[in-house]
Amino acid sequence: MDRRNFLTLSGVAAMSGVSGAAGHDDGTIHEHDPKGGILPPGPMLKRKIPSTGEMLPAVGLGTSGPFEVGAEAAARAPLREVLGSFFTAGATLIDTSPMYSTAETVLGELLTAEQQGKAFVATKVWTSGREAGIRQMEASFAKLGVARLDLMQVHNLVDFDVHLKTLRRWKEEEKIKYIGVTHYTTSSYPDLLSIIEREKLDFAQFNYSATTRDAEKKLLPLCADKGVAVIINRAFEDGNLFTAVKGKTIPAWAAEFGARSWAQLFLKFVLAHPAVTCVIPATGKVKNLVDNLAAGFGALPDAKQRAQIIAALN
């Protein structure tokens, strides 16, 4: 990031203030540390997509909640600002789904031609049946305004085996670049493990946080072993992590790895796992976006510091 862009984003955060209500993880509400919304200098951390070697910025953007709005200018204006700041910071991955009511349409209509050229757009198929899946995915292409998608994922494993055949064919036809699978609960891990073990996938998306660490046992190691890129959802536990630390000052030792807010501390915990490729907190406010993106800059916690984060939440 150049100095002008750094100062622009820092100024937005400073003017907005980072205290008060903030939307993350499907638009839930929580509090932020007022010092959190400043981006450090330097490039954002990038991680390699194992199947191709393509580098992907480590902090992305979810659309569930904040992007589920109507056509009103007042509702869309903050989202347009979020997208502008997102790309200025060097981030690229935006995750959406037909499950998220209007999110695909809103995203497609707000992205400028220049932003479309920079974006790594990930969406999902979320229905049963081959033909229904094809219709839904074709509708996603139209809503997002693209002829080719970076990543198509089978959402919550719904009719996975049926949709995988379509995804493989579309990948061969270069309609989609990468294919993957998603879920958001630990109860889905046995199925995810079975699928990743037997199928060649580019991406897997699932939940992981400083308080829900079940993925560390088998799922994250398996993804690393099989060369599957990992997108993490629910890094804030739908806002519950902020509830757990409400009224508490971020520990002084967080500065050792550059965390200036609880949001950054929680996200850096996730990114410190080497199998994680990208984390996708959702927000519709620039001040919270800048706070989140800052987690992708600078150092990450080591094993001892990750243990301190866990202890701080118990």
Could you tell me which of 192, 227, 196 has the C-alpha nearest to residue 208? 192
pLDDT in tens, 168-211: 999 999 999 999 999 999 999 999 999 999 999 999 999 999 99
Distance CA 117, CA 111 (A): 10
- Span 7-16, average pLDDT: 38
- Res 127 pLDDT > 90: yes
pLDDT in tens, 257-311: 999 999 999 999 999 999 999 999 999 999 999 999 999 999 999 999 999 999 9
- Residue 37: what pLDDT? 64
Distance CA 293, CA 94 (A): 13
254 CB-near residues (< 8 Å, 6+ apart): 260, 264, 265
Q: Are 210 and 237 in contact (CB under 8 A)?
A: no
Question: pTM for the full model?
Answer: 0.90
Task: List C-alpha distances in Å: 31 to 17, 262, 270.
Answer: 12, 9, 19
For the chain, give the percent of residues with pLDDT over 70: 88
What average pLDDT is seen over the chain? 90
When pLDDT is cut at 50, 70 and 90, the band that residue 117 belongs to is very high
Q: Are 285 and 78 in contact (CB under 8 A)?
A: yes
pLDDT in tens, 138-177: 999 999 999 999 999 999 999 999 999 999 999 999 999 9
DSSP states of 38-96 = -PPSSPPPEEE-TTT--EEESB-EE-TTTT---S-HHHHHHHHHHHHHHHHTT--EEE-
When pLDDT is cut at 50, 70 and 90, the band that residue 41 belongs to is confident
When pLDDT is cut at 50, 70 and 90, the band that residue 3 belongs to is very low
From the number of C-beta atoms within 10 Å of its C-beta (0-12, 13-18, 19+), residue 74 rates as exposed
Residue 161, both tokens: 């085996």
Distance CA 142, CA 120 (A): 16
- Residue 1: what pLDDT? 37
Q: Are 101 and 26 in contact (CB under 8 A)?
A: no
Name the least confident of 34-38, 81-85, 306-310: 34-38
- Could you identify the residue written with the tokens 């007042």? 74
- Residue 29: what pLDDT? 41
Q: What angle do CA 69, 82, 263 make, to 5 degrees?
A: 100
When pLDDT is cut at 50, 70 and 90, the band that residue 58 belongs to is very high
Q: Are 169 and 192 in contact (CB under 8 A)?
A: no
- Residue 22: what pLDDT? 33
SS3 string, 219-276, reads HHHHHHHHCCEEEEECCCHHHHHHHHCCCCCCCHHHHHHCCCCHHHHHHHHHHCCCCC
- Residue 170: what pLDDT? 98
- Residue 118: what pLDDT? 97
The dihedral of CA 264, 32, 121, 90: what is its sign? negative
Structural domains for the chain: 3-312 (3.20.20.100)
When pLDDT is cut at 50, 70 and 90, the band that residue 8 belongs to is very low
The tally of CA atoms less than 13 A away on the side-chain side of residue 210 is: 29
